[in-house]
Amino acid sequence: MKKGILFLFCVMASANIMAQGCADAGFCTAGALKTGNHTNAVEDYGSIGMSGTVGYGEQGTVVFIPQLEIGKNLSANSSVEIKLPYYIATGNLGTTSGIGDIIATYTQSIYIQKDKWDIKGTVGGRVSLGKSNLNGKNGLPLPMPYQPNLGTTDVIGGLNIRYKKHYVFTVGLQQPIVNYNDNQYYSGVYFSADTSYQQYFSSRKLERRGDALLRLEYDKDWKQDGIAASTLFIYHLGNDIITTPSGNKVDARGSAGLTLNLTFNYYRNYKKWRFEAGIGAPVIVREYRPDGLTRAFVVTPRATYFFRKKR
């Protein structure tokens, strides 16, 4: 097992830092779809936590996303969760910040066979609170890496299938159903501006396609701590559409296709608390990524407090 963990870190470290593209639109960590759904969870009533994702994005953009995470158990077999992120991006075009897209999910146990099978299903959605149309200090439109929102309302669904405690197979889908993205960035019109403005992916009035998820994961739990190592496949289901300044809608060719990420998570329980740390990096990316979700790597620490029943 130690050799496997060492190999995973070596692969992450060898991933070209400019070969960016984690491409997670939110559903990779939603409900039962997130990695590390460890079997010895301590919660009874629910939980409240805070995470702080740090990512290295397109053209050296650094993204920091502190996020409030609230969970409530409705019964022994069902729960709800809501995530409230705040998005901060800084790079060669300046610094922006704002409330991110809210994600809410409902998770239900579907089938449990002691010490063998544990199957959960999650449904929910992601709602943008903005139109992705922030401008820079010079009045020029900013590309998507600087926007706190995707400018869509999406539905999310999927299954988490655990076999013999350690082996996990996860499938999921996130599909935009309403698009109100009003981003105005189109790189071809900035010939008279600083050349740094011409280096991002055009995203004017972006119409984003859906994503499918497949995760193959191995978990190991001890008395107080545990690990999860996974291979995460995200397939973008079609080419996104952007609108040129003349009003023509065109395919963002190369935006469909596969992103392959490797992830590793560690957690430790301490009384009513759980402390976690996760890292992820891509090894296969899409050619064109106008949605601003490009990441060379992400690191996510998390602290969660669990509300327990009195014994």
**pLDDT value at position 111?**
93
Residue 138 lies in a domain: yes
Residue 143 lies in a domain: yes
Residue 83 lies in a domain: yes
Mean pLDDT score, 5-30 = 50
Number of domains in the chain: 1
**pLDDT value at position 197?**
85
| Residue 9 clears pLDDT 80, i.e. is over it | no
Comparing 27-41, 133-147, 159-173, 291-305, which segment has the lowest mean pLDDT?
A: 27-41
Residue 72 lies in a domain: yes
Residue 172 lies in a domain: yes
| Residue 311 clears pLDDT 60, i.e. is over it | no
294 pLDDT band, cuts 50/70/90, is confident
Residue 311 lies in a domain: no
Contact status, residue 156 vs residue 105, Cβ threshold 8 Å: yes
CATH number for position 106? 2.40.160.40
| Residue 109 clears pLDDT 90, i.e. is over it | yes
User: Domain containing 58: what range?
Assistant: 2-305
Residue 310 lies in a domain: no
Decide which of 113 and 188 is more confident. 113
Residue 295 lies in a domain: yes
